[in-house]
Structures are given as C-alpha cells and as structure tokens.
Amino acid sequence: MNLTKILTIVFFLAAIAVGYLLYDSINTTIEQAKEIERVENQVKAKLELIRDVQTAYQGTYGDYADSWEKLISYADTGKIFLIQRTEKITMLAYGAEKSEFIYDTLGYVYVKDSVMKGMQPQVLPELPHAPGKFFSLYAKDSIRSGVNVDYIEVVDTFPFDRTRKDDADNEKRRPLRFGSRTDISTAGNW
C-alpha cells in the first residue's frame, strides 16, 4: 500500500469517529432536554394539584392553608359543598326590579375523591423527582386598601433543570412556582 491509500483510510476512520462524536453530543443534548421536559411536566401537574386543593381550602375556610399539615388534613378528610344558586326577580310597583338570590346546599363531595384524583394526600408536598425534598409553601393574609386579601406561593425548591435560578431575569427561567408573595395571583410561571 502506498502512503495515499493509508492516509485515505486513516482520514476516513477519523471522519467516522468525529461524525459519531458529533451525533452522540447532539443526541445526548436532545435526550436531556426530553428528560427535563418530562420531569417538569410532572412538577407542573403536582403544582396544579396543590393549587386546586388550596383553592378548595380557601373556598371552605376563607384563606389558604399556611402549612402542609393543614393542607394534607384537608385533602384527606375535607369536603367541598355543592351549592345551587337561583335568582328570583320581582317587578316592583314603580318599574324597578328586585333580585333575590337563593342558595341551596345539595350535598358534598370529599376533596380526596374529587380533587386528589386517587393520589395520596401525604405525598402532596413532596417533589416528584427528588424523594425527601419538598415544595416550599407560603400563605398569608393581609389588609390591602382596606380589603382582606390572601397571598400564596408554592415553589419547587430543588429544580431538576439546574439552569433555573431564583435570580434569573426571565420569569420563565426561575424555579417552577405558582402564586406570588406580593401579588394576588395563583398563576404559574410556566
């Protein structure tokens, strides 16, 4: 064999090796992105579930549960009352209308059966991707412009995507959360 054939074979093998390394690098990045998306979808689903239970708790007690113990207890044994509202309109003699609202309690359903969708209440605060790690819970009521308002914030304390930081400029790149400590909102940042 002459030198040209040897160099051709060596360069061909080197090109195959570099091509494989590029493919593997790109494929690894794609697989990591898919895994991050899968885990974050689980976290979002859990945050939505916590938000639904907190909303039901607020509907029952008038404010949000400020501890996991209260929320777990409510999710386990709490009830959501089914209320029917009807309106009765009466015409008055001088042409105005008088409206009366009648509220009737039809029954109730347990939070565990309706909102929890078969999930055990005890695992509510636990992160789905990090056993032993928990969401942080902040709930407080305050007076704002003479009106009693409730604040709630639940945050993933151990993000699966390590690029999510609390000090990120873009709200969507911060750890997954819903609610706010300063605004009256239960919106998520996803």
> Over the stretch 124-178, which tens digit does the pLDDT of each residue have?
888 888 888 888 888 888 877 788 888 888 888 888 877 777 777 777 777 888 8
Give the pLDDT of residue 178.
Answer: 87
Residue 19 has pLDDT above 80, yes or no: yes
For 5, phi and psi rounded to 5 degrees? -65, -40
Give me the pLDDT at residue 143, please: 77
Confidence of residue 81 (pLDDT cuts 50, 70, 90): confident
Distance CA 40, CA 47 (A): 10
Are 49 and 119 contacting, i.e. CB atoms less than 8 angstroms apart? yes
Please list, in sequence order, all residues whose beta carbon lies within 8 angstroms of the beta carbon of residue 163, skipping any fewer than 6 positions away: 173
What is the spatial distance between Cα 42 and Cα 135, in angstroms, rounded to a whole number?
Answer: 13
How distant, in Å, are the alpha carbons of 66, 136, 166 from that of 172? 25, 18, 10
Is the pLDDT confidence value at 12 over 80?
yes
What's residue 88's pLDDT? 87
Residue 130: closest CA among 164, 158, 162: 158
